[in-house]
Structures are given as structure tokens and as C-alpha cells.
A = this chain, B = another copy of it.
Amino acid sequence: VARGAGVSLATASRVLNGSTHPVSEKTRERVLAAARELDYARSGLARALVTKQSRIAGLIVGDIVDPYFAQIARGFEDVAGRAGYLTMLCNADRQTTRELSYVSVLREYHAEGVVFAASGAIDDPADDELRALVTQASAGGMNVVSVAPRNLAGSTILVDNRAAGYDVVDYLISLGHRRIALVAGPAVITAGERLDGFGAALRDHDLEPIVVFDGDFSFESGQEAAMRMLAEPQLPDGVACVNDASATGVLMTLRQARITIPKQTSVMGIGDTHVAGYLQLSTVNLASYELGAAAARQVLSGQHDESHVILPHRLVPRSTTARRSIRSRGV
């Protein structure tokens, strides 16, 4: 390329990249000029092929539209991008088979790392296959890190979902609430852990949930749960939801039914996504941005260790929770 332009040859390589190899000012100038002339762009592909450093990293999320994943993605891309890495965005939609194919493609492109941001499904038949593939990929030099509970090779950077759940219900109880309803999530590990946490806090106070509604992390499932609550003769004192979106669903539909939150019942979510801030929803902050950023740092480090770190979470009390007062029961 630049060889024909200038007069020198593959020495051009030395100047076009930061080689420590000595090169005279003159030739450097000539090469640079020629490169500009032909608007030369070096090929990351070819370079990757020979250096074994693709500077490509994959990020597999459930759904980038979910603010939780978006935050992780943002954190990840911020540090990866700054380091000159390209991040491959993959929406797996909670389907392990899709993750499977993404990992394959990532491997074809010699991605230096993959991070799994989505929680694993409970009792997933394809899980063994994924685990095998990931182990293989890992052995092949790919740095794999999970930022959600998965049974995969590689390091993990997690948040204590069970403790987060515990804190929610514990807080509700500390507010004087006793009749607590739970809104569950889909059949993925994180949702299960949060629900476990809810239950553990309840048990520690010799309580039981008055009811646990099905859910799937969606706003709509929150709405539905709220509908069910409204059909009962008596409202719960407080309702703990596995995530902010579903909490928003119950919050909005309860309000729509003229229930005063938090006066009549307290509502909490988990995640501290933007909406939570908008709605003044009490929740627990899960450091999702930091999860992504830390994952990127781990990938960039090149360390193939099996490290496991837990990032702190933090209860964020806002305006959808209040101390229990003497209040009218029932709708």
C-alpha cells in the first residue's frame, strides 16, 4: 500500500503503528505523506489475524431496551471503547440457544472476551451445551466474565441479589408493614434469588407473604398483579417486586384505582433504573453501570483468572414507601 506510494517498503509498518523500532525522520515523513495521499486505513482484521489481538469484545444481554442492561452496556462500552476496543452487542432475549450462536460467532471473530449480562434460566436444557461451548472458548483464549449468576467458566462480577431482596422486605417490615405481597419474576436465577431474599426477610420476622404473584419483569405483569390485589377485600401493607418495571406496573395501576401510595400501601422495586427516579420509587440500587465497567476492565486486563467479586448494592428509599399509619384497610 504505502510502499508503492513512497519508495520504501514494509518499513512503513514501523511508522504506521507505534513501533519501538528506530526509523529516520525523513522516511517517516515520506510514509506519512503517502499514507495521507491514499487515505490509508490500516486493517484491524489483518492485524488481529497476526497479532492474535482482535480488540473485539462481546456483550450478551437479554434485551438492550431493558434499562438495566442498557446501563451495563453503557458501562461496558465506556471503558472498552476508551481502550480502543469494539464491543459487539448481542440481544439473546433470554434464549440460551441464541446465546449459543452468539458465542460461536464471537469465537469466529476471535473476540478477546465475552460477558454474559443476562441471568441464566432455571432448568435450561441447553445450559449444558452452552457451558461446554463456553469452557471450550475459554480454553481457546477467550476471556469470559459473567455479571449475572451463571454456571459458566471464567470470572464473575455480581451483585448480591438475594441480599437486595432481603433488604427490600426488611425495610418494609422496619416501616411497620406486616401484610406483605410479593411480585415474582420469570424463571431466571436472579429473579429467584431476589424472591428468596424477600422470603428470608419475612421468615426472620416470623412472617409469611400474604400472597406472591407471578410476574416476568414486565410492567404489564405488575399491572396484572395490582389488578389481583384490588380484587381482594384487603390491600397489602406493602408490596415487594423483583424489579422496577413490575413495581412501576403495580404502582401506576394502584394509583389509577385511587389508592394512595405510600399512604395506603408501600411499593418497592429493585434495580434503581431511571424510571424509578422519575417516579420516586423506592428501590435498591444495583450498580449496573459499574457492573458493565468492571466487566470491561476484567476483559481488557487479559487476566484469565477465575476471580469472583461482589459489588455493593444500596437501598434507595424514596416516596413510594412510608411508615405504616393507622389507615383504612380494604379498598
**In the complex, A87 Cα to B91 Cα: how many Å?**
10
Q: Do A74 and B81 touch across chains, with their CB atoms under 8 A apart? A: no
**In the complex, A49 Cα to B140 Cα: how many Å?**
21
| Interface size bracket, A side | 35 or more
Query: Residue on B with the closest CB to A220?
Result: B277
Q: How far is the CB of A15 from chain B (nearest CB, A)?
A: 17
A317 in the interface (beta carbon within 8 A): no
Contacts of A249 in B (CB 8 A): 278
Contacts of A86 in B (CB 8 A): 88, 105-106, 109
**In the complex, A91 Cα to B71 Cα: how many Å?**
12
Given known pairs A49-B45, A109-B44, the reply for A39 and B275 (CB within 8 Å) is: no
A110 in the interface (beta carbon within 8 A): yes
Contacts of A49 in B (CB 8 A): 43, 45-46, 49
Query: Which of B67, B88, B106 has a CB less than 8 Å from the CB of A88?
Result: B88
Contacts of A73 in B (CB 8 A): 64, 89
Query: Which of B39, B91, B109, B277 has a CB less than 8 Å from the CB of A81?
Result: B91
Q: Do A108 and B44 touch across chains, with their CB atoms under 8 A apart? A: yes
Contacts of A106 in B (CB 8 A): 86
Q: How far is the CB of A177 from chain B (nearest CB, A)?
A: 24
Q: How far is the CB of A284 from chain B (nearest CB, A)?
A: 19
Copy number of this protein in the oligomer? 2
Interface of A is mostly: helix
A187 in the interface (beta carbon within 8 A): no
Contacts of A65 in B (CB 8 A): 67, 70-71, 74, 274
Query: Which of B39, B48, B110, B219 has a CB less than 8 Å from the CB of A136?
Result: B39
Q: Do B77 and A64 touch across chains, with their CB atoms under 8 A apart? A: yes
Query: Residue on B with the closest CB to A273?
Result: B65
Q: How far is the CB of A226 from chain B (nearest CB, A)?
A: 13
Query: Residue on B with the closest CB to A111?
Result: B86
**In the complex, A42 Cα to B45 Cα: how many Å?**
14
Q: Do B77 and A89 touch across chains, with their CB atoms under 8 A apart? A: yes
A307 in the interface (beta carbon within 8 A): no
A104 in the interface (beta carbon within 8 A): yes
Contacts of A87 in B (CB 8 A): 88-89
Q: Do B219 and A278 touch across chains, with their CB atoms under 8 A apart? A: yes
A324 in the interface (beta carbon within 8 A): no
Q: Which of A123-165 contact B (CB under 8 A)?
A: 136, 140
Shortest Cβ-Cβ A-B pairs, 7 listed: A44-B108, A89-B89, A44-B109, A65-B70, A41-B107, A86-B88, A65-B74
19 further contact pairs, Cβ within 8 A, besides A41-B104, A67-B70: A39-B136, A42-B108, A43-B110, A44-B105, A46-B49, A63-B74, A64-B64, A64-B70, A64-B74, A65-B274, A67-B67, A74-B91, A86-B88, A86-B106, A87-B88, A219-B274, A252-B278, A252-B280, A275-B275
- Can you name 6 A-B residue pairings with CB atoms under 8 Å? A42-B108, A43-B110, A56-B109, A65-B274, A86-B106, A87-B89
